[in-house]
Amino acid sequence: MSRALLRHARLSRRQLITFALASAVLNGIITASVGAWLAQTYSAYQARRHAIETIANLVYERRTRAGMVASAIRRNADLEEVRHRKQAYDEAYVEWNKNVMLNLFAIREAAGDLRFSALEPLFEDHLIAAMADVDRCVTKAYDARVVNGDAKAILEACRMTDLHQFVLDCGATFTNELYKLTRLTFIPFTGEFDRTKALAETHIRDACGVVPKPVAPAPSPAQAPAPASPEVSTAPAAPQPTAPAGATPSPASDTAAPK
């Protein structure tokens, strides 16, 4: 029966072998290409997830260390404890700053942008700016604590509590949205990534909109400017002309009398 079908289709044994070999080669190429694409996609997914996890660890470690220094200052802890916590914070500060550029690259890759991502200015101008304000506040308060100054007043003036909460809200939203962008998918050309990216930018702008600013110190009574007093002229008054006896005074006028 099979030989009859081959004779009817006019296919020779050589043609069948050639077709089988070509099919095997084509299937091998397709399988290898798809397998390589799947492996590359999964490897990139793993790298992006690891980068985002690193950013989250650095943000939370630096925030936590800064909060520990501020807490020790507020409760009048021993100076040795304050110094120990400040040293740990400085280590986290160095670790953060040496990875800033790598974090920007990770954000760019997670957003799918080759040169520049719209999320980078939000990261630099909001989260990094707030963390820099925290660093200035903690450092200034620590320096005051070392010389037995009013370190608590410095923490209140620079709004350490608000900055600490802002870093938590902004950092949590930022890392959460980046985590969503790195979600693994094998279905291209659906437009879902673009929608997720636009929604991520909106959420990050809402959470990282306004960085708390320090409170301007009120002027002390000694520095307050004295109220301005009206100037009193000390020059003698000009003598007024007297009218001759029997003359009638004329009404005041802005124009000179005719000659």
pLDDT > 90? residue 227: no
Q: Which of 26-35, 50-59, 74-83, 209-218 has the highest mean pLDDT?
A: 74-83
Helix, strand or coil for residue 150? coil
What Å distances lie between residue 108 and 33, 187, 237, CA to CA? 27, 21, 80
Q: Which of 50-59, 103-112, 229-238 has the highest mean pLDDT?
A: 50-59
Mean pLDDT over residues 15-30, rounded?
78
Tens-digit pLDDT profile for residues 168-188: 999 999 999 888 888 766 566
Q: Give the integer Cα–Cα distance in Å for 2 and 5.
A: 5
Q: Where are the domains of the chain?
A: 1-36, 52-207
Taking Cα atoms as reference points, which of 145, 141, 178 lies closest to residue 59? 178
Instruction: State the pLDDT at residue 230.
Output: 47
- pLDDT tier for residue 229 given thresholds of 50, 70 and 90: very low
pLDDT > 50? residue 30: yes
Q: Which is more confident, 122 or 141?
A: 141
Q: Where are the alpha helices (H) located in 75-128, listed in sequence order?
A: 79-97, 100-110, 119-122
Q: Give the integer Cα–Cα distance in Å for 92 and 237.
A: 76
Q: Give the integer Cα–Cα distance in Å for 108 and 114.
A: 7
CB atoms within 10 A of CB 233: 6
Tens-digit pLDDT profile for residues 204-223: 888 888 878 776 554 444 44
Q: In this predicted structure, which of 25-29, 92-96, 154-158, 249-253 has the lowest mean pLDDT?
A: 249-253
Q: Give the integer Cα–Cα distance in Å for 242 and 166.
A: 79
Amino acid identity at 122: L
pLDDT > 60? residue 165: yes
Instruction: State the pLDDT at residue 244.
Output: 44
Instruction: State the pLDDT at residue 259.
Output: 32
Instruction: State the pLDDT at residue 201.
Output: 87
- pLDDT tier for residue 35 given thresholds of 50, 70 and 90: confident
